[in-house]
């Protein structure tokens, strides 16, 4: 499990710390959030005290329904369980009692510039990105017309060279060689480069090049959702390759299925064009047009018609 401190959350979401500064080094271990509405109503059986607590407009309004004594007791109970931090959304006025307990327990109370639902989703995405389990893929990640494609294959098969050609054609490099990936949520795998390698591409015979300097800022993207994996391999006569594209191979990463293609390469095949075509075909399917199925339907109709004529 990755480690994250409240301080990093404060910086990441540009939160304003109102009290409890002494607790900014507290650790956040749970990527989920909690809105302690039930708890303010007096029910603490379900209090998720290992999560960051969000006080939204609803909780903020409800708080003022309580009499002073209940406010005091319940907020104290919220703090006593030592959650990592409290974050108030944009339009909630932070009650004095929170400030007092924040300083007493040294638990940060912060204020966001987002409204409740945006705060919830922004903070959730941030925590997922920081705390999600990470792994690496050996390959090159590119954004081709909005499709995140990881090119894999043995060392020396020409992954980086293909990437260079695709960058030259106007697509974006995300990561060369080492792609760090995590699952933001089921179905969404995000890839990015490790810090040292960001923007760099290694080309045999030339060396390490910075694509932003060579091709401009449009040639680089920080991170990208991965839609497909294209595996390049030397043409093998003994192997059967997908000819029609009616079936799709999938590869499972964490618990997300990713389309997986194997493209054989030879001198006569322009690999960059093949990868580009694979990405465009993926996009076309995503937009609702499946070339292979369309072809297949037309063919089946033709066969039926011919059968009738007999």
Enzyme catalytic residues: 138, 159, 177, 243
- Which one of residues 86, 200, 220, 282 is an interface residue with another protein (CB under 8 A)? 200
Q: Say how many residues touch another protein, by CB under 8 A.
A: 13
Map the footprint of another protein across residues 174-193, applying CB under 8 A.
176-178
Residue 156 found at the interface with another protein (CB under 8 A): yes
Kindly give, in sequence order, each residue whose CB lies less than 8 Å from that of residue 69, ignoring residues fewer than 6 positions away.
none
CB of 120 to another protein, least distance (A): 31
196 near another protein, judged by CB under 8 A: yes
Q: Exposed, middle or buried: residue 99 (CB in 10 Å: 0-12, 13-18, 19+)?
A: middle
210 phi, psi to nearest 5 deg: -95, 115
* 96 SS3 class: helix
Site for another protein in 115-154 (CB under 8 A): 136, 138
In terms of CB distance, is 84 or 139 closer to another protein? 139
Q: Is 234 in the site for another protein (CB under 8 A)?
A: no
Decide if residue 202 touches another protein (CB under 8 A): yes
Binds another protein (CB under 8 A): choice among 197, 212, 265, 292: 197
Q: Please report how close the Cβ of residue 214 comes to another protein at its closest, in angstroms.
A: 16
- Beta-bridge partner residues of 259: 228, 250
Which residue, among 278, 26, 254, has the nearest Cα to 136 in the 3D structure? 254
Token reading at 114: 């987002």
- Owner of token pair 């209090």: 47
Which is closer to another protein, CB of 170 or CB of 194? Answer: 194
When the beta carbons of 88 and 200 are compared against another protein, the nearer one is 200
Cα(273)–Cα(281) distance, integer angstroms: 12
Q: Which is nearer to another protein, 99 or 178 (CB)?
A: 178
The CA-atom distances, in angstroms, between 277 and each of 77, 141, 177, 264 are 59, 16, 22, 14
CA distance 85 to 82: 8
Interface positions with another protein (CB under 8 A): 136, 138, 155-156, 176-178, 194, 196-197, 200, 202, 208
């Amino acid at each position: 499990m990755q480690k994250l401190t409240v301080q990093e959350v404060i910086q990441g979401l540009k939160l304003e710390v109102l009290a409890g500064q002494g607790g900014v080094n507290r650790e956040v271990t749970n990527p989920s959030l909690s809105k302690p509405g039930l708890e303010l109503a007096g029910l603490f059986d379900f209090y998720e005290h290992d999560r960051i607590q969000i006080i939204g407009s609803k909780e903020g309004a409800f708080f003022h329904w309580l009499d002073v004594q209940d406010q005091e007791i319940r907020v104290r109970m919220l703090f006593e369980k030592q959650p990592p931090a409290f974050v108030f959304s944009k339009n909630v006025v932070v009650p004095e009692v929170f400030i007092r307990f924040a300083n007493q327990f040294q638990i940060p109370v912060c204020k966001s510039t987002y409204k409740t639902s945006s705060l919830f989703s922004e903070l959730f995405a941030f925590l997922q990105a920081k705390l999600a389990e990470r792994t690496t893929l050996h390959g090159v990640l590119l954004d081709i017309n909005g499709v995140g494609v990881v090119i894999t294959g043995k060392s020396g098969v020409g992954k980086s060279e293909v990437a260079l050609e695709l960058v030259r054609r106007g697509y974006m490099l995300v990561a060369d060689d080492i792609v760090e990936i995590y699952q933001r949520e089921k179905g969404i795998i995000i890839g990015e480069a490790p810090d040292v390698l960001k923007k760099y591409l290694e080309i045999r015979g030339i060396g390490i090049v910075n694509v932003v300097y060579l091709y401009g800022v449009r040639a680089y993207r920080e991170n990208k959702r991965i839609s497909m994996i294209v595996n390049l391999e030397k043409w093998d006569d003994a192997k059967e390759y997908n000819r029609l594209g009616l079936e799709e191979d999938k590869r499972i990463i964490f618990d997300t299925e990713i389309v997986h293609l194997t493209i054989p390469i030879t001198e006569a095949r322009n690999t960059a064009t093949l990868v580009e075509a694979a990405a465009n075909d993926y996009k076309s399917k995503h937009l609702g047009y499946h070339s292979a199925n369309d072809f297949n339907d037309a063919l089946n109709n033709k066969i039926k018609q011919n059968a009738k004529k007999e």
